[in-house]
């Protein structure tokens, strides 16, 4: 199941109503999917003594979807704005526009596609769940809202298995919000694109194994992947943006193959188990790493 990160200003949950809504949504999604382990990450789940900054950063990076609880304090919160910006950047890198699932919780002034704030425009321009009337409503109405939200979320989960479209240069609210550089165009590959969730998993694995400099060298030292280096952004870009765009370019050029994973294992043999598991997800039914290396040694 995809993972979900709830983004909200903690001060707005002093009565526990947002936590209650999250729990009701989780319960309904478990019923709809049969996944008893499904959960939505909320910062109240942090353990005693745990580094909250490190845990939040890890959970956000691993999440497939962002669930922003939209209210005035959301757009004045530095943390919420950073989380939203990171996900807008990820959507653009993956060529998607459906990984942010807003819940409109409290009326916001100037909330609409013409808002001055680019992040407000980015959220207001999406299909959101309008829950402004449930904060003080009876429990039955709150439950009905949670069921409706859960069904929309399950529909969104099913969409992530569809192939991603080629990433396009950022424009409008996303470009203004992220300052992202355009992705260079790539020749389309002959095969189907991996699912966004799979590309996201590969991006996370690569960013945990390599620094930007190490990964650039890794790409340069192979005749097939060397051309990808010229497609990557330069200048002041985040590691997440660079790795995301690298993965998109590799997929578009059909370079995420058994040879690519064999090279990863050669570079990081201690992580061979993780690499092989991800290879199994991405290349089900394709040539194995051993077959690829045998074919290349004979050729």
- H helices, E strands: number in the chain: 14, 5
Q: Is the pLDDT of residue 215 over 70?
A: yes
pLDDT of residue 232: 73
Question: Would you state the pLDDT for residue 234?
Answer: 57
pLDDT tens-digit profile of 224-270? 888 777 777 655 557 777 888 888 888 888 889 998 999 999 888 88
Please state, in angstroms and as integers, the Cα–Cα distance from residue 275 to each residue in 30, 127, 156, 204, following that order.
29, 37, 27, 12
The pLDDT value given to residue 105: 96
- Tell whether the model's pLDDT for residue 133 goes beyond 60: yes
Torsions phi, psi for 208 (to 5 deg):
-85, -15
Beta pairing, strands 103-104 & 65-70: parallel
Mean pLDDT, the chain, integer: 80
| Contacting residues for 198 by C-beta, under 8 A, at least 6 apart | 278, 281, 282
pLDDT confidence bin for 174, thresholds 50/70/90: very low
Distance of CA 252 to the CA centre of its chain: 18
The pLDDT value recorded for residue 176 is: 44
Q: Which residue has the higher pLDDT, 94 or 269?
A: 269
Using CB atoms within 10 Å of the CB of residue 36, give its burial: 0 to 12 exposed, 13 to 18 middle, 19+ buried.
Answer: exposed
Q: Which residue has better confidence, 236 or 25?
A: 25
pTM: 0.58
185 pLDDT more than 80: no
């Amino acid at each position: 199941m995809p993972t979900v990160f709830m983004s909200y200003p903690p001060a707005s949950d002093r009565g526990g109503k947002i936590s209650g809504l999250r729990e009701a949504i989780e319960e309904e999604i478990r019923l709809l999917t049969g996944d008893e382990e499904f959960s939505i990450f909320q910062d109240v789940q942090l353990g005693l003594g745990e580094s909250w900054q490190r845990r939040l950063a890890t959970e956000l990076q691993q999440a497939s979807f962002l669930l922003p609880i939209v209210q005035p304090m959301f757009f004045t919160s530095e943390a919420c704005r950073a989380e939203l910006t990171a996900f807008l950047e990820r959507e653009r890198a993956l060529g998607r526009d459906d990984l942010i699932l807003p819940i409109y919780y409290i009326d916001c002034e100037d909330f609409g596609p013409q808002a001055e704030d680019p992040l407000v425009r980015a959220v207001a321009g999406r299909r959101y769940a309008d829950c402004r009337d449930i904060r003080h409503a009876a429990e039955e109405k709150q439950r009905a809202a949670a069921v409706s939200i859960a069904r929309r979320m399950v529909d969104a989960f099913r969409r992530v298995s569809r192939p991603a479209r080629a990433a396009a240069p950022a424009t409008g609210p996303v470009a203004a919000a992220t300052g992202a550089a355009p992705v260079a165009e790539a020749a389309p590959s002959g095969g189907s694109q991996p699912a966004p969730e799979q590309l996201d998993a590969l991006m996370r694995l690569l960013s945990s194994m390599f620094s930007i400099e190490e990964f650039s060298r890794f790409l340069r030292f192979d005749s097939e992947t060397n051309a990808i280096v010229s497609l990557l952004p330069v200048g002041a870009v985040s590691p997440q943006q660079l790795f995301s765009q690298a993965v998109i370019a590799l997929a578009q050029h059909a370079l995420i193959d058994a040879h690519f994973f064999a090279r990863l294992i050669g570079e990081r043999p201690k992580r061979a188990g993780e690499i092989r598991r991800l290879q199994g997800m991405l290349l089900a039914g394709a040539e194995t790493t051993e077959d690829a290396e045998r074919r290349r040694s004979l050729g």
